Amino acid sequence: MLPDSLALERAAELIRAASRPVVIAGAQWASPGDDGWLRAFVEALPAPVLATAGAKGLLPEAHPLALGIFTGAERDEAVLGLADLIIACGLSPQELDSPGWPHAAPVVRFAGPACSGLPFTPRVELLGDLPLILAELAPRLRGRTQADWDMFQIDRLKKARGG
């Protein structure tokens, strides 16, 4: 099933406008071979990645954009507080330990099945096969100015998180 084209356009607009997107990768990426899609997406932006425990290893820990495990706790605020867009890829409510969502940045959510119980309301939600969503989104992001993340800053954030 193809993702909704209007939602794809809205997601692309938000991503194109973001200068500091952060990706939170969830366990819905567990299918073998899907990690290449996520890696290509975050490298193209570029955007740092926090992975839930269920998505650990999708991006190798040594990768410069991998910031470690998303805990939903105060520890994540150093990263998410700098974000002007949070891209929740494959994140489900079961992976969020915290009942609240203290992050101010808007959220774009890419997910397999629809679900309820998320502590945030996504600005845009794309449902379906995650690699297919990224494949359909990619041409809509051509010509986008790269994100304004300083790789030294990302490295400092990674070290501060113990990575």
**pLDDT value of position 143:** 80
Instruction: Please tell me the distance from the alpha carbon of residue 163 to that of residue 158, in angstroms, as a whole number.
Output: 5
**pLDDT value of position 83:** 94
State yes or no: cis peptide before 48, omega within 30 of 0. no
Task: Report the relative pairing of strands 85-89 and 66-69 from DSSP bridges.
Answer: unpaired
Q: Are 110 and 126 in contact (CB under 8 A)?
A: yes
DSSP letter assigned to residue 7: H
Reference 7, options 128, 143, 147; nearest CA is 128
Mean pLDDT of 139-160: 87
- For the segment 126-144, what is each residue's pLDDT rounded down to a tens digit? 998 888 999 999 999 988 7
**pLDDT value of position 31:** 67
Q: Are 51 and 73 in contact (CB under 8 A)?
A: no
The secondary structure element, H or E, covering residue 109 is: strand 107-111
Q: Mean pLDDT check: name the lowest of 96-100, 113-117, 122-126.
A: 96-100
- For the segment 9-21, what is each residue's pLDDT rounded down to a tens digit? 999 999 999 999 9
**pLDDT value of position 23:** 96
Q: Which structural domain, as residue segments, surrounds residue 41? A: 5-160
- For the segment 19-58, what is each residue's pLDDT rounded down to a tens digit? 999 999 998 876 667 778 889 999 999 999 999 988 888 8
Q: Are 118 and 93 in contact (CB under 8 A)?
A: yes
In the chain, what percentage of residues exceed pLDDT 70? 94
The enclosing domain of 92 has a CATH number of: 3.40.50.1220
* Total number of domains in the chain: 1
Residue 116 pLDDT exceeds 90: no
| Paired residues of 66 in beta bridges | 49
Residue type, 43: E
